[in-house]
Structure 1
């Protein structure tokens, strides 16, 4: 069974490895990876830049049975992560399955069954061969990723910036480009910079510009953002500091029992867990930092109906926040003496009054190169209404779009947005799997891709439990939202695990692996390794990984942390689910509902 895997990023690599391990006499999977670049790594290799680090932790991002050393930092640089992927390929012997500099140009239906994949390779001259070659495939794994083709919105008058003649002699010429082209801090020195987009890349660029010595930095946001650090650190409560280096990654804090697993379907459907945690988080943030908009976030707040983990991707790149806050931060001294968020002094530029100005997206540029901002009621819009902003560098940190022009138009192929079976396949066309095309609000795509790989293979083998319950893991967005592929990491992972019979029962865990593993599973987050303790993808390595690395992650919270962030929510959600279960039993006995 030839399987063509398109893309050698994390998703393509993990689906290849999982296919090889899942091959049987009845399902002799024979994967081959086609990658158009000259190296593996995908976005992490080809759209990286100087000083970029992962915002997801190594504990969550690492694949289930190939972990990073204990002494490795919690958050890897992008080159370190690409090296990890290379080591993964070597360890599992999949490097010889990868064809680099091989571009897919067409996928069509084979009249006799399966698919015909046409591809071209790159010649020594660097040009693509003109004559395509073909592979007959039983299955297709589409792993091209969410972050490939830059999305560049049209802003009237941008040509006036590019033709701007007022820049200083000898300085770099005016420019506008997407963040995918940005590579090094030196590009930003001495510039008047306008950055479009307040996602994690936009925040990184604002910080890099401040550190590079940019003359002016204006960061533009469409509708706000929710700033939460990638690790809980730099707090001080009643004089007791919680500093960088001892912090717990934010994506490892959500507990399993009662919030991710053993959740009543009615509770899951109502998203009560998300709303309760948002309510608590806002109050905690107010006490710690003085604002509910985000962690030490005094401007750029989302509208109330979108402020929470149920609606948006958390922005975990927080290095630029000290510069953004300066014109807006205001908190009574008495509250600041009780608790405060510490702006790291090493992150301050030589000129201490430097600020990154926040603004709405400009509506257009005037002939003199001046940006025109809309008149809104937002704090940043009011402040910037009459500011004379004439950038000589515009960077679009506006995300990416996806195109699948190689899918034959007459073949009836779906796109990832049409994959209505767990966002992995389209119902009735299970031979095409979309791996890595969802993004968690807080979490990481690689471990999700590993769970998707296991789900897809189980689906092909007819081993998925049916009927599958309705999905209750999508982030809540409006019908006209630009991005609709957001999911809650834990809810999505546990749903896939339950579908394939990989959710471990508590009694089963205790009987097979003992109290140590059971406690870790209850207090831990939705680590993929948990779903390999039992079930069809059981790994002999999983118990030791849980007892060592994941146990260390849980215990790093400390007794107080596990009590506040573990035991209290666990008991609350178990009681809530128990009450709903009793209500269901009463209504069922009364004939009001049917099971």
Structure 2
């Protein structure tokens, strides 16, 4: 799981990053209470939460690095129309930014340099050493303690061509049309018109993993997709309510019609929607019931995990229909919580 170092508070006093604290994993650094859990439909379907994250993210980036386009990203900004969390896919790695940003960080005496120096004296995310060692483009490799460094440390690497991998398109030319229109001419969002998993005309054919979260991972979402797809034909009575199309827009990213990727979505909102569809999302009373019957003094941890933890797939295995008695033993937020803390006395 990708981690970036957290900021150092008061580095002017000589404080440094604690190597024993690698930082919070980026994919699970989001609390969900009143964000995706227990959110009124009007708030969920509006742009209020998106606008909140716009200011929250930019403010956080500025406090930690002084830049708002990205962590220590001083050049290569998106246009104002695109730079919005409802429209972009986040780059979770900041390894390349020091190389790109070094010539563009404030260096000329003036208000900008003064503000940068004052802020970085109070709080600053550690910036790794840059790679290129000269203006001719020769790459200097940093000793990372691994074998590949010792193999390449004495070589001069000067690339003369850079190939940009611009992505791919999903086409299913080998599939027959469901309604007279060929599959290869249709975006994946149109083919999978039920929770981005199957087509209403052919629910027995599922497309698992054909989504792209803006921040998060595809495999956990694919697991939830598979659960709902299997549940729909085999045990439809376990689905508590119809899978309404009006519940789709709140988790989709806002992409242009001519965009290459039209299947982007918000990881946490989508995961929670699938859990609601299956009746697998534990509510407040479910958590209270589990903690009440738990024979331990650490049951309070579950309440914090449920309210402030990310939407791990194991969170949606605590109640039916995909109840798993070993889900409670998985490491969540405070390390490995004893199974008896999370396991209810009732199946």
Name the TM-score class by shorter chain. 0.7 to 0.9
Equivalent position of 1:419 in the other structure: 192
Equivalent position of 2:110 in the other structure: none
Equivalent position of 2:118 in the other structure: 334
Shift of 1:274: 2.5
Q: Deviations over 1:329-356 (max 9, x none)?
A: 11432333223332223x545x266779
Equivalent position of 2:286 in the other structure: 508
SS of alignment partner, residue 104 of structure 2: coil
Structure 2 distance, partners of 1:467, 1:234, is 40
Say which of 254, 260, 266 aligns to 1:476: 254
Structure 2 distance, partners of 1:315, 1:532, is 30
Alpha-carbon RMSD: 2.5
1:293 aligns with 2:293: no
Shift of 1:247: 0.7
Equivalent position of 2:201 in the other structure: 428
1:533 aligns with 2:318: yes
Unmatched tracts of structure 2, length 5 or more: 107-112, 139-158, 292-298, 338-347
User: Alpha carbons of 1:256 and 1:247: their partners in 2 closer, same or farther (altered >3 Å)?
Assistant: same
TM-score, normalized by length of structure 2? Answer: 0.76
Q: Deviations over 1:15-53 (max 9, x none)?
A: xxxxxxxxxxxxxxxxxxxxxxxxxxxxxxxxxxxxxxx
Structure 1 distance, partners of 2:65, 2:51, is 21
- 8 Å Cα contact 2:178-2:201 kept in structure 1: no
Say which of 1, 4, 8 aligns to 1:236: 8
TM-score, normalized by length of structure 1? Answer: 0.45
Equivalent position of 2:127 in the other structure: 343
1:552 aligns with 2:325: no
Alignment of 1:539-578 (within 5 A): 539-545=324-330, 549-552=331-334
Query: Which has the larger strand fraction?
Result: 1
Alignment of 1:379-418 (within 5 A): 392-409=160-177, 416-417=188-189, 418=191
Q: Deviations over 1:144-188 (max 9, x none)?
A: xxxxxxxxxxxxxxxxxxxxxxxxxxxxxxxxxxxxxxxxxxxxx
Structure 1 distance, partners of 2:57, 2:137, is 28
Unmatched tracts of structure 1, length 5 or more: 1-56, 58-229, 357-390, 556-595
Equivalent position of 2:217 in the other structure: 444
User: Alpha carbons of 1:234 and 1:344: their partners in 2 closer, same or farther (altered >3 Å)?
Assistant: farther
User: Alpha carbons of 1:520 and 1:278: their partners in 2 closer, same or farther (altered >3 Å)?
Assistant: same
SS of alignment partner, residue 326 of structure 1: helix
1:248 aligns with 2:24: yes
- 8 Å Cα contact 1:256-1:524 kept in structure 2: yes
Q: Which has the higher contact order (CA 8 A, sep 6+)?
A: 1
- 8 Å Cα contact 1:433-1:456 kept in structure 2: yes
